[in-house]
Amino acid sequence: MAENYDLVILGGGTGGYVAAICASQAGLKTAIVESDKIGGVCLHKGCIPTKSLLKSAEIYQLTKHAEQFGVETADPTFNWSKVIARKDEVVNRLYNGVQSLMKQGKIDVYHGFGRLLGPSIFSPMAGSISVEYEDDKENDILIPKNVILATGSSANSISKIAPDGEVVITSDHLFDLDDIPQNMVIIGGGVIGIEWASLFADVGCDVTIVEASGNILPGFDLDIISFTEKRLKQRGINILKNALVEDVKKDKNSAEVHIQTNEENQVITTEKVLVAVGRKPNTFNIGLQNTEIECDDDGSIIVNEHLQTKESHIYAIGDVTGGNMLAHVAMYEARKAISHITASQSLPTESSIPSCVYSNPEIAMIGLTEQQALDQGYQVEVKKTYFPSVGKSFVNGEEDGFIKMISDQKTKDLIGIHIVGGTATELITPGSMAFYFDASPLELSEVIYPHPSMNEIYSEVALAIEGRKLHG
């Protein structure tokens, strides 16, 4: 079958399905080609399921320490299969929601593997799409005016440590574990490594992180990193930095991990080895060679400020373009690409993107780190305000954390906001809005925040920058 469309989107993850909804709202005849499930990594293997598990671990810890709130409980247990069942329920509810949004928007979903074709009998331009199916069903050919590539990314691997899905695993395999392992070596101390380390440590697994560079959490502010590292170590997580895994010797149920460090080499015997060393764009086999589209050295698709590839009617959004591989970036880029295709509204290139780590402690940031600001030649004003400056932190039992605000001494503009501690991932939103509205610390100090609330921390830190702090 050959079918004409205004827009065909390759990949139905967060970027792809949001683009489809926006396109359908704009009246475009739209199709998505998805080889797996609509919702992609974020919904099925990433953001949503991991946060569901992390929430269960948080509740477990809270229940264990409920007595400090005057609530007496029996010893709680962390029931992995029930935790996974709840995760499945959360995912399924959202999955059903996304599927009905596709129906409501009259978006055609092709459940097959899509590949770009070059100029052909279907169109003189590259960009028709052949949809291939696993069964013997004949290929469909889709002939769109515009294409959006939203094929996402997949876990990187290390050549000599190939994941087998049993002993050596990636984050994709973690939801299939039968139970909580007794011990785990996590290779890579980035966002994925830290979130999983935090989760497993909270539920009794003995965790070692092996990080190749001198610090965990690349891209985050050094004060936040050292605070987090200290707290993770206090919870028993072993963190090896400047460390490389030389070899993994596997048997059926465990592995010997040979690690080279600056100090002494170590061998750790473990049940699971989790490889969390970044992600790579999914461009394999999608027919890029049939087009003029260009890729960077890391395999990411090169786009201009409107998210157009070298073929101006073919756009690319989200993880497949590299850079900030975050679901909220993909969603923003989806809206931006559609607004360009429909010439309806010009959205600016995203400048300030919040980043969150849903570990214990939570971390969130927006803008530059102190080091980045210094490297860019700013004369910085830096203030840190600890959570006990606001009464709500005591009410919540979450006094362990701080906010760090960085501003420009010359212009008094905001440069960066960094938060670590309970609810940091929610607390960053006023910061995002401040960046969007170009608010200064002075303006943030003038906002009336409800009392008692953790948001008062913004008032405290902004007043500190102004030299007029009230508490703390």
Catalytic residues: 451
Asked if residues 243 and 233 have their Cβ atoms less than 8 Å apart, the reply is no
| Amino acid in the structure at residue 452 | P
Select 144 or 318, whichever has its Cβ closest to ligand NAD.
318
| Amino acid in the structure at residue 63 | T
Applying CB under 6 A, the span of 61-69, 77-85, 116-124, 204-212 interacting with ligand NAD comes to 204-212
Site mask for ligand NAD (CB under 6 A), range 313-352, x = bound: ------------xx--------------------------
Q: According to the binding rule CB under 6 A, does residue 191 interact with ligand NAD?
A: yes
Q: According to the binding rule CB under 6 A, does residue 11 interact with ligand NAD?
A: no
**Residue numbers belonging to the annotated binding site for FAD:** 51, 114, 151-153, 319, 325-328
**Residue numbers belonging to the annotated binding site for NAD(+):** 188-195, 211, 278
Q: According to the binding rule CB under 6 A, does residue 244 interact with ligand NAD?
A: yes
Asked if residues 194 and 227 have their Cβ atoms less than 8 Å apart, the reply is no
- What DSSP line would sit under 238-263, residue for residue? EEE-S-EEEEEEE-SS-EEEEEE-SS
Q: According to the binding rule CB under 6 A, does residue 190 interact with ligand NAD?
A: yes
Pairwise CA distance, residues 363 & 194, whole Å: 11
- Which of 324, 325, 200 minimizes the C-alpha distance to 274? 200
- What DSSP line would sit under 269-332, residue for residue? EESEEEE-S-EEE--TTSSGGGS---B-TTSPBP--TT-B-SSTTEEE-GGGG-SS--HHHHHH
Select 199 or 462, whichever has its Cβ closest to ligand NAD.
199
Please classify residue 159 by burial: count the beta carbons closer than 10 Å to its beta carbon, then call 0-12 exposed, 13-18 middle and 19+ buried. Answer: exposed
Q: According to the binding rule CB under 6 A, does residue 380 interact with ligand NAD?
A: no
Asked if residues 205 and 182 have their Cβ atoms less than 8 Å apart, the reply is yes
Candidates 127, 193, 287, 318; binder of ligand NAD (CB under 6 A) is 193
Q: According to the binding rule CB under 6 A, does residue 229 interact with ligand NAD?
A: no
Residue 455: CB minimum distance to ligand NAD, A: 21
Q: According to the binding rule CB under 6 A, does residue 189 interact with ligand NAD?
A: yes
Select 35 or 324, whichever has its Cβ closest to ligand NAD.
324
Q: Contact positions toward ligand NAD, by CB under 6 A?
A: 158, 187-193, 195, 210-213, 218, 244-245, 276-279, 325-326, 356-358
